[in-house]
Each structure stands twice: as C-alpha cells, then as structure tokens.
C-alpha cells in the first residue's frame, strides 16, 4: 500500500470527520486524507452525553465513524463502504459528498477537481461492483418509452424483431 500511486490527489477542505485543509488521495480501493484532527469529536461527545455513554460503547472512541479507518496520520474510506457520490457547486468551488451507510464526508475543492473526483469514484464503484454505482449512475429509462414502443408494436408499426430490438435499446441490453 505504501508504494501504490494515487489515481488522483488534490487539496481539499474536509468536513464530516476532520476540519481544515488536507491532501486527499484517491486510490483504486480507497479515499485517503491527512488526519488533521485527532481524538474524540464533538459529535461523539454530544452523542455520548445524550445517550448516557451507550453510543460510545456501540461506535467506540478510537475508531472513525462513517466507515473511515485511522491509519497512522491518515483517515481511510474504503470504496466498498461508499453508497453514493454527489456534488454541489458553490461559485468557483464545489463540494463532493461521499455517503456511506452511516454518514457523509464532504470534500470542498475547485469545480474541475470535484467533477474529476466524482467521475473517478463512480467508475471505481462500478469496477468494484458496488451497489452505490447504480445510485450514482444515470436514471433508468422511463416506463413511458417502453409503453410507446409497445403501442407502436400493437398498432402494427413495428415488426416483432423491430419491437425486440427497440426494447433492448431502451433497456440498454
């Protein structure tokens, strides 16, 4: 892992788990960034107080939440833990939101970098067979297109072979 070259590296303001600017690296199996803030978070303290310490027993104090692991001076989010990826533009900067089953990590950087990172993460999720890639992919074709093709077939405007080919095209198979 130490000799592996990142696919993309950029400077980002990281929220959700740590604060401040960090060097973020995307690898084939993970997103990794410098851990600027160590120790227990304010969120964990508040959660611990409100639940009488039960949340600290369940989530632990030393382990990162949101599927993030601490390795030395870095925080690591495995690609397999990512459930979806989205972006939000705010002028010349964008926010890349990386969601997991238990939370979100937001990376704030220049628009072009965030767009490139999103595309890369979606592709890595697809390659790894992640269910999240389906969520990040374009929406499935609407039923309206299939209905229209079926109606054309029923009116005799399409042959059976043309109908089957049109269905496969709409469904992407």
Query: Which domains, and CATH codes, for the chain?
Result: 8-136 (2.30.29.30), 139-173 (no CATH)
Band of pLDDT at residue 118, cut at 50, 70 and 90: very high
What is the percentage of the chain residues whose pLDDT exceeds 70?
65
Pairwise CA distance, residues 124 & 36, whole Å: 26
Query: What is the widest separation between alpha-carbon atoms in the chain?
Result: 70
Query: Which has the closest alpha carbon to 16: 97, 122, 88?
Result: 97
Tens digit of each residue's pLDDT (9 = 90 or more) over 49-91: 566 655 555 555 544 444 555 555 678 889 988 888 988 887 7
For 128-144, how does the pLDDT look when each residue is reduced to its tens digit (9 = 90+)? 775 444 444 444 455 77
107-116, 122-131, 141-150 — which one is most confidently predicted on average? 107-116
pTM beyond 0.75: the answer is no
Q: How many CA atoms lie within 13 A of 89 on its CB side?
A: 6
CB 31 within 8 A of CB 77: yes
């Amino acid at each position: 892992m130490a000799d592996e070259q990142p696919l993309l590296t950029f400077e980002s303001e990281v929220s959700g788990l740590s604060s401040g600017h960090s060097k973020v690296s995307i690898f084939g199996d993970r997103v990794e960034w410098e851990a600027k803030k160590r120790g227990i978070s304010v969120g964990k303290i508040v959660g611990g107080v409100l639940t009488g310490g039960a949340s600290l027993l369940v989530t632990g104090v030393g382990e990162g939440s949101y599927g993030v692991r601490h390795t030395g001076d870095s925080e690591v989010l495995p690609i397999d833990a990512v459930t979806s990826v989205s972006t939000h533009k705010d002028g010349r900067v964008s926010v890349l939101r990386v969601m997991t089953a238990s939370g979100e990590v937001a990376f704030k950087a220049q628009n072009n970098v965030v767009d490139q990172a999103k595309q890369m993460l979606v592709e890595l999720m697809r390659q790894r067979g992640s269910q999240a890639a389906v969520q990040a992919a374009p929406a499935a074709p609407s039923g309206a297109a299939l209905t229209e093709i079926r109606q054309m077939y029923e009116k005799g405007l399409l042959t059976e072979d043309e109908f089957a080919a049109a269905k496969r095209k709409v469904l992407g198979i």
